[in-house]
Structure 1
């Protein structure tokens, strides 16, 4: 349950700490005093949407912190561990915090650990249920009606398993559709692929060959230049006359041998020239070998160009780079294998679909039976509550309709409709035909039943008694007090009949100070509660009669 709520710089609240207790707590005050601001602040710390316009005028950030007592809340501890959040053995308190600054940046914390807002929202959905004054409108939605039955029937595990089967069913259904589409043009596609494969297999494209051909073509295009220049260089290095490099070096070498015999200091220079002579001879030899190795076949270049042109033409034809042609061959073979095995695949997937469909129908039938049982019990309990809400002759009923077998869905085979007959002599009607006040009371009854099933630690009812009074208000107050026997109940109310049923009462006041509006609160003792209930009964002027009435209401309720 909520032990404490701290609010700083939120709307018109500058700083406020609200301590709460178990049982039922009524939040009361003048109209416009800011009672719903507390609920809005709690909604924010539970992961609701933030807005910089919520920041107290002149301040830079909102800070909201909620402390929960969680001892004995086994499922919550499991959830915290699954989120890798620190959980101390025997831990009895959990702190949620939300900060929103003027730049719109929002931070969320669980036990001082930074977490995504989504995580705060998920834990908030486990801890607190907030029922607003217009929440009953969602009761007209058939999806919401089905979800209510599933919550009451504890169908979470069944629905999870059913959804897994449904997703598998959808997957194989889509695969079957793809195979059907592929099979329509199968014969012509297979014929085309065989033709393409035959053409490519005949040519036998090879990436390494393509690289080699392109290199050889480049060399062949410059063959004349390569041969002529190489021959010129060879003549310059090693021709018969005395002007060749080789001959000149020989002359220089002989002279250096003579000089080195006269002066040993020239021996090293003589050695260098000897080495140069050897290297010139080796260069001439290799150049001569290169000239003899050149293929001077005049038809080779034409063959190269023809072969390469086929590579480029096939690349254009198949809209791919020439070097990717070998990969294309593999892809065509794979597609051919797939197309030629369509019939086998089709039979296999149909068999899988049949199996999955049977699994789905079996589980959907179990879910339908459980829903029917839950709906029957739910309707019975709701019909027991309605007379206490001044719907004495009211009858509530849940209508089931099964959809066709081929119309599978993630939620099963049932269409669920809430119906009511609130006037004797009339037939059952959909809820959208009842009045707003009647729908509000039915909605309140529905939500109180649901809140008993869910493991919420705290229930908050925000002005759900709007537009009602008298005995109906008494009944709503009594119902809230009954819920508070097992869960913490917070109720914002304008009705003294409801407030009197509370175990605790807090008055919210709005006042002006330093040209700013702000809010404070006061937990009321017994005497103060009498005064507040008397005000709620008779307005600003508290009379002896209203005070006496307030005392009587408190004594009766307590």
Structure 2
């Protein structure tokens, strides 16, 4: 549950700390005191989009911190542990927004992006205001309510998995069907392309080797000259060749070898050098003599390179990629040749997947109808007690079994009548804003019986009601507070009197500033606050007596 709220420099709030307990807590205060600021700040801390004007005047940043006890919220603990924010029993969410528009969110002291925080928020609390009531008019949201109450999470997951597998099968079948329709034409083209490449008989690394040889032949004259010069310098010139000069040096040193034994190692080095020079010269001669410098060879290579290059350009690849093209063509030809067998296998698989889908969808549909019967009875009962005498609620199923969707065989819509003698009509065509809020409250109440929602925050859910209906709404919120933590902003004394805890929001203004504060009320203070809510600023003994009676 939500245990503490800290707000600093947020709009008209200087510093505010609100310590919350379990049960039903109410927030009241005069119009314009800033009651909704508390809810807005909570929304901000939980990842809501920023308004650039939220920082208190003359301050550089605002901070909102929420502390949750998650010891009894296993889904939240699991999420925190999975994402590296685990602190066992506590979850502290803090958001700091600066005047330069930079914003920082942390969970248990670790940075967290707002997109990730929005995943965690519904596991901790649900904020219910006028906007949230409006979502009840959306058919998708109506179906979500039914599935939440019916605990259809696992069935929906299985159904969506079955649907995804079936759609994947259909996509492959459609693609294969299109290919089959073009099969003969494609096979003719692919076979022609493959035979053309096979006729080329391209050898591994042939392109690179031919390219290098072409470069050599293109510069053949210079190459021969360079080779001959190197051979001449190494062995052929009888007077100045390297081998001649090395041998001369060896002979000269041999003359002094007997009297200078240390020359032995030097002579050995020179002999080794002479051997290496001779071997290098032999390699040069072999390379020169092996060169095919005929114009015919050059012409052949140029033709061969042109053939390879033309086919590579035809297939929009580099010459070195042609072997991959051949393999790709072979694979596509094999696929087309086996397409009939694949189509038969896909059709068989499609029937199996469709059977799985229909089985799951039927189970979901049956459970939805059982759930709808239960919801209809409960919401109709609540409507009768919430000022809509003669009202009735019914969940309508629009079957579309001929369609396969990720959400089952039917579309769901909520029908109501708020007065006797009226026909059942879609929710959006019948209810007022106040009636919608009450129906939405009733739905939240019955869903909380099924789901472990730890905290509800209601922002003026009692708009448009009064008297006995307001008292019933208050009792409904009090009842909900026995199952979950409830925080409600209200202007109705009948609702405020039902709270287990009562806080008052005050606004103080001076010439230069305005500040909003919040204080917990004692029993005596509650009597005076409810009396104010009953009669305004003029409190009489009668209103105090009435307030006391409401609290009794």
The TM-score, its normalising length taken from structure 2, stands at 0.90
| Stretch of structure 1 that moved more, 280-289 or 25-34 | 280-289
Distance of 2:123 and 2:394 partners within structure 1: 29
Note if contact 2:243-2:277 (Cα within 8 Å) is conserved in structure 1: no
Please give the residue correspondences for 1:274-285 in structure 2 after superposition, counting only pairs within 5 Å.
Answer: none
User: 2:37 and 2:543 mapped to 1: Cα distance?
Assistant: 29
How far does the alpha carbon of each residue in 1:417-475 deviate from its partner, in whole angstroms, 9 at most, with x for none?
11112232232111122141333332232232223332122211110112221222122
Deviation at 1:276, TM superposition (A): 8.3
Cα distance 1:524–1:198, how it changes in 2: closer, same or farther (>3 A)?
same
Please give the alpha-carbon distance, in whole angstroms, between the structure 2 residues aligned to 1:274 and 1:442: 108
CA deviations over 1:179-202 (Å, ceiling 9, x no partner) = 122222211111011111111111
1:283/1:16 CA distance change after superposition, 3 Å: closer
Of the three residues 387, 405, 418, the one matched with 2:414 is: 418
| The one of 196, 208, 217 aligned to 1:211 | 208
Tell me which residue corresponds to 1:54: 54
- Say if 2:448 is the partner of 1:451: yes
The corresponding residue for 1:35 is 35
Counterpart mapping for 1:491-506 below 5 A: 491-506=488-503
Q: Whole-Å Cα distance in 2 between the matches of residues 253 and 181 of structure 1? A: 84
1:480 paired residue among 458, 477, 482: 477
Whether the aligned pair in 1 keeps the contact of 2:239 and 2:245 (CA below 8 Å) is: no
Report the counterpart of residue 356 of structure 2 in structure 1: 359
Question: Residues 258 and 24 from structure 1, CA distance in 2 versus in 1: closer, same or farther, beyond 3 angstroms?
Answer: closer
The alpha-carbon deviation at position 416 of structure 1 amounts to 0.8
Q: TM-score, normalised by structure 1?
A: 0.89
Unaligned 5+ runs, structure 2? none
1:82 shift after superposition: 3.2
- Counterparts in 2 of 1:186-205, with a 5 A limit? 186-205=183-202
1:432 is aligned to 2:441: no
For the 8 Å contact 2:416–2:424, the answer to whether it is kept is yes
State the alpha-carbon separation in 2 of the partners of residues 5 and 204 from structure 1.
78
Q: How many angstroms does 1:316 deviate by?
A: 1.7
Q: How does 1:146-545 map to 2 (within 5 A)?
A: 146-227=143-224, 230-231=227-228, 245=241, 286-405=283-402, 407-436=403-432, 437-513=434-510, 515-545=512-542
CA distance in 2: counterparts of 1:251 and 1:146, whole angstroms:
102
Pick closer, same or farther for the CA change 1:330–1:31 going to 2, 3 Å.
same
Answer with 17-26 or 32-41: which moved more.
17-26
Q: Please identify, of 407-416 and 71-80, the stretch whose mean Cα deviation from structure 2 is larger.
A: 71-80
Give matches, 1:543-558, under 5 Å.
543-555=540-552
- Calculate the aligned-residue CA RMSD, in Å: 3.1
Per-residue CA deviations over 1:240-291 (Å, capped at 9, x if unaligned) read: 9x877589859977995898699989x8999999888877766665554444
Task: In structure 1, list runs of 5 or more residues that go unmatched.
Answer: none
Shift of 1:527: 1.8
Q: Answer whether contact 2:396 2:414 (CA < 8 A) is retained.
A: yes
Cα distance, 1:217 vs. partner? 1.8
Which secondary structure does the structure 2 equivalent of 1:541 belong to? coil
| Alpha carbons of structure 1 residues 295 and 468: separation in structure 2 relative to 1, 3 Å | same
